[in-house]
């Protein structure tokens, strides 16, 4: 029964901590936030099974992690330098239909990954891509050349 109580306490503590840090979907997490979630089990595992008889040590570890995550996100929110340092910066992978080999090699992105994202936005050929950008969150954004836009989208732009 002691294990059930320990797990319940840790569960409630983590739930409250994540609630205080703010809402965010897992797909929108930064690498730093994902790392925080991965560290939580390591911090509390011994406190949960009773090898470390102090549940307080596990809770203090989690609280410290949440506080560090909060202050990091606050710094990133308020400072562009902190944002660039923590989050990185976007990289141009394709410019006007041509792969940028140096950027792709540096970011370890394959042409197949770029083509996959192109197909998601309805493009078939590389010359249809104005820009393909690896965003800070790891997603590849594809911006088509104007002539590559579907006919319906061209009509919508003409109306505006």
**Based on the domain organization, do 22 and 78 belong to the same domain?**
yes
Q: Which residue has the higher pLDDT, 4 or 79?
A: 79
Question: Which of 62, 86, 110 lies at the terminal end of a domain, its last residue?
Answer: 86
**Based on the domain organization, do 11 and 76 belong to the same domain?**
yes
At 14-32, the pLDDT tens digits run: 878 777 766 555 556 667 7
At 68-91, the pLDDT tens digits run: 888 888 888 899 888 877 777 889
**Based on the domain organization, do 13 and 73 belong to the same domain?**
yes
**Based on the domain organization, do 48 and 115 belong to the same domain?**
no
At 111-147, the pLDDT tens digits run: 999 999 999 999 999 999 999 999 877 889 999 998 7
Question: Which of 42, 63, 86 lies at the terminal end of a domain, its last residue?
Answer: 86
Instruction: Note the pTM of the prediction, 2 decimals.
Output: 0.57
At 31-69, the pLDDT tens digits run: 777 777 788 888 777 777 666 667 787 788 888 888 888
Which pLDDT score is estimated for 23?
Answer: 55
Question: Which of 38, 55, 86 lies at the terminal end of a domain, its last residue?
Answer: 86
**Based on the domain organization, do 36 and 11 belong to the same domain?**
yes
Which pLDDT score is estimated for 150?
Answer: 57
Range of the domain at 135: 89-159
**Based on the domain organization, do 7 and 70 belong to the same domain?**
yes
Which pLDDT score is estimated for 156?
Answer: 52
Which pLDDT score is estimated for 32?
Answer: 72
The crossing angle, in degrees rounded to 10, of helices 31-49 and 55-78 is 170
Task: Find the mean pLDDT for residues 100-112.
Answer: 93
Which pLDDT score is estimated for 91?
Answer: 92
Count structural domains, the chain. 2
Write out the DSSP string of the chain. Answer: -HHHHHHHHHHHHHHHHHHHH----GGG--HHHHHHHHHHHHHHHHHHHTSSS-HHHHHHHHHHHHHHHHHHHHHHHH-HHHHHHHH---EEEEETTEE-HHHHHHHT--HHHHHHHHHHTT--SGGGEEEEEE-TTSPEEEEE-GGGS-HHHHHHHHH-
**Based on the domain organization, do 95 and 149 belong to the same domain?**
yes
**Based on the domain organization, do 8 and 71 belong to the same domain?**
yes
Which pLDDT score is estimated for 157?
Answer: 53
The CATH number that applies at residue 117 is: 3.30.240.20
Average model confidence (pLDDT) for the chain?
80
**Based on the domain organization, do 25 and 53 belong to the same domain?**
yes
Which pLDDT score is estimated for 128?
Answer: 94
């Amino acid at each position: 029964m002691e294990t059930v109580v320990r797990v319940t306490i840790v569960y409630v503590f983590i739930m409250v901590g994540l609630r205080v840090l703010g809402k965010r979907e897992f797909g929108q997490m930064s690498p730093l936030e994902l790392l925080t979630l991965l560290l939580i089990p390591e911090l509390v595992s011994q406190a949960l099974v009773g090898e470390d008889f102090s549940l307080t040590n596990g809770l203090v570890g989690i609280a410290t992690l949440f506080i560090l995550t909060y202050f990091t996100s606050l710094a990133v929110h308020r400072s562009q330098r902190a944002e660039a340092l923590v989050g990185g910066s976007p990289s141009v992978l394709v410019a006007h239909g041509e792969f940028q080999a140096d950027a792709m090699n540096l970011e370890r992105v394959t042409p197949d990954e770029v083509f996959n994202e192109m197909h998601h936005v309805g493009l078939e050929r590389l010359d249809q891509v104005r820009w393909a950008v690896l965003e800070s969150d790891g997603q590849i954004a594809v911006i088509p050349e104007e002539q590559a836009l579907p006919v319906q989208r061209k009509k919508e732009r003409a109306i505006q």
